[in-house]
Structure 1
Amino acid sequence: MVRIMRSTFIALAMALCATTTGAAASAAPQAASPRASASSTQSPTTAPDCVHLTVDWRYTFASNDCSSTYTFRVVYLDGTDVPCRTAAPGALITFPGRGTQGNEVLGAVLCDGEGDT
């Protein structure tokens, strides 16, 4: 019984490694070129260094430690679409986290105006 459990565990671990590696390889081209909106062909502007992200599996917390108000969104490796949020100086806002499926938060980008970009 222990032998069957051990071989099953090893097979599952190898399958998980192969799946994770394949997903990261297929998602890499998306990470290199973040999605541009249909109305804008410009590349997104990275949020200033005073916008800090704290990433966890469930939530991504964005704190605006700047002296100005910014409207921004978080960019994910798999292209997850999240709405733009406005953060006043000193504000802490919440976005979805990286999840448990190997997704990653790439950073924060400024939005062109109010609402989604």
Structure 2
Amino acid sequence: MAACLLQAAPAGAATTGAAAPSCVQHSTSWRYTFVTNTCDSSQRVTVEYRDGSTVPCRTASPGDTVTFPGYGTGDNAVLGVALCPATAP
């Protein structure tokens, strides 16, 4: 009998999946994914991966670059950058 394992998303992980605006750009390598915010306002973002892995959201102020894991040695492609829900004040 096959067992089904569910992985809970870590606190702060994206739940919307809405694509980040075009003023949020990313570049990726096997080790890191750099997300740069060139928007006029702060953006709360995460990176989406081919295998569905989740990583915590990060807030990038205008002009900031935040770092996420890259695609790794298993070539887990970075699909894009997604917006995260705003945090409570």
What TM-score, normalized by structure 2, do the two folds share? Answer: 0.78
Q: Distance in 1 between matches of 2:81 and 2:38?
A: 14
Structure 1 residue 79: Cα displacement: 1.1
Residue 68 of structure 1 corresponds to: 41
Residue 78 of structure 1 corresponds to: 51
Q: CA RMSD in A?
A: 1.9
Q: Tell me the percent identity.
A: 49
Correspondence 1:89 to 2:65: no
Residue 86 of structure 2 corresponds to: 113
Q: Which has the higher helix share?
A: 1
Q: Secondary structure at the match of 1:100?
A: coil
Using CA pairs under 8 Å that are at least 6 residues apart, name the structure with larger relative contact order, 1 or 2.
Answer: 2
Amino acid at match of 2:45: F
2:73 to 100, 103, 106: 100
Structure 1 residue 43: Cα displacement: 5.0
List alignment gaps of at least 5 residues for structure 1: 1-41
Q: Distance in 2 between matches of 1:114 and 1:56?
A: 29
Residue 56 of structure 1 corresponds to: 29
Whichever of the two has the greater Rg, that structure is 1
Amino acid at match of 1:100: T
What TM-score, normalized by structure 1, do the two folds share? Answer: 0.60
Q: How many pairs align?
A: 75
List alignment gaps of at least 5 residues for structure 2: 1-14
